[in-house]
Structure 1
Amino acid sequence: MNTLLSWWQHLPSQMDPVIFSVGGFAVRWYGTMYIVAFAIVWLLANYRIRTEKLPFTKPFIGDALTWVMVGVILGGRIGYLLFYGMADLIADPLGTLLPWMGTAEGCAFSGISGMSYHGGLIGVTIALFAFTRSQKKGFLETVDLFIPAVPLGYTFGRIGNFINGELYGRVTDAAVGMYFPLAPTYELRHPSQLYEAFFEGIVLFGILWTLRKQAPFSGYLSAVYLFGYGFVRFFIEYFREPDAQLGFVFLDFSMGQLLCISMMLAAVAVYIAASRQAGSGRSA
């Protein structure tokens, strides 16, 4: 038992974020998890249009997800800089956005360091809105097509954070705690990445996947997702270490919690607007 507990608590130091390297290019688990996440969303969306007779085509799904990828990367990076790294953005606007750094030999790929979920969500929303307008498809109908699958894909993103040893939790005395090498102190900390993977990922996926055929109007699933994610993430933030450069932003709330409150308010607004739109459509 002690051996198993020791293995668990020291697991983060035993994981290598790099799967393999070719020359100076490293293939990392974190980036691979993004690919897995998009593949899952693509597969489940195709499953839905095949089994639920939804008015979408496979090419539409592929094209939409291409736009989503751009939205995730740009929105996630820009959102991180705006919400968590404004000082870096002001000091070096171009350098913080580009995944390249100068070296004695020239330029080297440095990867994208720092992504914001909420920024990525905003980026995806803008990208899908622009895409659906270009395709003359309903925006909320399109979001509702993908949204039940999103939490399951998101699960793998948080596993990528865990393998990286980043976004670790607050100090704890509980046996579930782990030693994270990147943490500022050598103390047991909550594996908050795994909490998020389970509750914001698997649990929310189960709820949305169950509700997907009973949605009373377009936008309903989107509202449930926004509120459900914001609600769960708000409480998990009590176990997650606040970003060192920000700490607690307002009272005892972290930036993540403030963004989650905004997310829940947005969910209420989406629900009201979508239900009214559905009601006016039926009365017409």
Structure 2
Amino acid sequence: MPFPNIDPIAIAIGPIAIRWYALAYLFGVILGAGYGYLLLRNQRLWHRGAPPFKASDIWDFAFWAMLAIVIGGRVGYVLFYNLPYYLENPAQIINTLDGGMSYHGGMLGLMLAAILFTRSKDGNWLSSLDLLGAVATIGILLGRLANFINAELYGAPTTVPWGVVFPTDPLQLARHPSQLYEAALEGLLLFLVIRVATHVFYALRKPGLVAGIFAIGYALSRIAVEFVRLPDAQLGYLYGGWLTMGQVLSLPILLGGLILVIYAATRRENPLRP
């Protein structure tokens, strides 16, 4: 099927251009903060009725979250995906116009910001990671849709009926729309799973459980989609031609998620249900 010709630039006023990708980051944080506000305000959802910080503080945290995502994402890309190039061209590290951002780096930056912010409020830092797990899927969904609009990070050639011919593909082959796969799995589906966990099974009452569920769900989804997503050109496939850097970076996230779920589920205090 042909690519829906969507202009990557959402708004252009003279020399000023605002791209859908930038709007995805902005609205991901705003909508995530709005949903986080609702979760924080509902005290009965939380461990001992105490969220990690006051609902009104979420807007202060949103500012730091945006910085953490951008800085962490850029640093992660430099370190994980193209370090030799940036060692030779250090001035390019701050040049984000090349689009080099790493989700795993952004996640680490966001986690660090949440822990430091929550500690400054004398809250439970594990619960703050649960909050991130509950809202991060919103940003992932918007970000992957923006990747699709940009016609980037597409998949391997395919014969499936929903294969897409991307305008940026020099070979002009029908390819897996891997961005949409990730939007559906890591964004929409994982949001629904966590929503059930938080509002039906009261998982936020077990600090670390929602964060663990998110980590496991994200890692498994990312590892699965990477089998049909093209690796970064400068890296290619690793370890004999079948593993990607995205899969390698997702393995510790999967392990960390399993540890968090086991830790949270085996604690005896505060049962999962009311």
Normalised to the residue count of structure 2, the TM-score between the two structures is 0.88
Pairwise CA distance, 1:219 = 0.5
Residue type matched to 2:190 in 1?
L
Output the CA distance in 2 between the equivalents of 1:52 and 1:206.
20
Secondary structure of residue in 2 paired with 1:136: coil
Aligned position for 1:45: 36
Aligned position for 1:69: 66
1:58-97 → structure 2 map (5 Å cutoff): 58-97=55-94
Output the CA distance in 2 between the equivalents of 1:261 and 1:271.
16
The count of aligned residue pairs is 261
Output the CA distance in 2 between the equivalents of 1:25 and 1:159.
22
Q: Can you give the 5+ residue segments of structure 2 that lack an aligned partner in the other structure?
A: none
CA-atom RMSD in angstroms: 2.0
Contact 1:77/1:112 (CA < 8 Å) preserved in 2?
no
Pairwise CA distance, 1:180 = 1.1
Q: Is 1:10 the equivalent of 2:7?
A: no
* 2:10 counterpart (13, 19, 25): 19
Pairwise CA distance, 1:52 = 4.3
Output the CA distance in 1 between the equivalents of 2:92 and 2:80.
17
Contact 1:70/1:127 (CA < 8 Å) preserved in 2?
no
Output the CA distance in 1 between the equivalents of 2:212 and 2:122.
22
1:113-192 → structure 2 map (5 Å cutoff): 113-192=99-178
Residue type matched to 1:62 in 2?
W
Aligned position for 1:6: none
Q: Can you give the 5+ residue segments of structure 1 that lack an aligned partner in the other structure?
A: 1-8, 100-110
Contact 2:163/2:174 (CA < 8 Å) preserved in 1?
yes
* 2:218 counterpart (211, 229, 234): 229
Report the structure number with the largest CA radius of gyration. Answer: 1
| Change beyond 3 A, Cα 1:144–1:253 | same
Aligned position for 1:32: 23
Write 1 or 2 for the structure with the bigger share of strand.
1
1:194-233 → structure 2 map (5 Å cutoff): 194-213=180-199, 214-215=202-203, 217-233=206-222
Output the CA distance in 1 between the equivalents of 2:182 and 2:270.
38
Q: Is 1:249 the equivalent of 2:238?
A: yes
Pairwise CA distance, 1:271 = 2.9
Output the CA distance in 2 between the equivalents of 1:261 and 1:82.
17
Secondary structure of residue in 2 paired with 1:248: coil
Normalised to the residue count of structure 1, the TM-score between the two structures is 0.85
| Change beyond 3 A, Cα 1:75–1:112 | farther
Contact 1:149/1:209 (CA < 8 Å) preserved in 2?
no
Deviations 1:222-256 (CA, angstroms, capped at 9, x unpaired): 00000110011111111111111111112311111
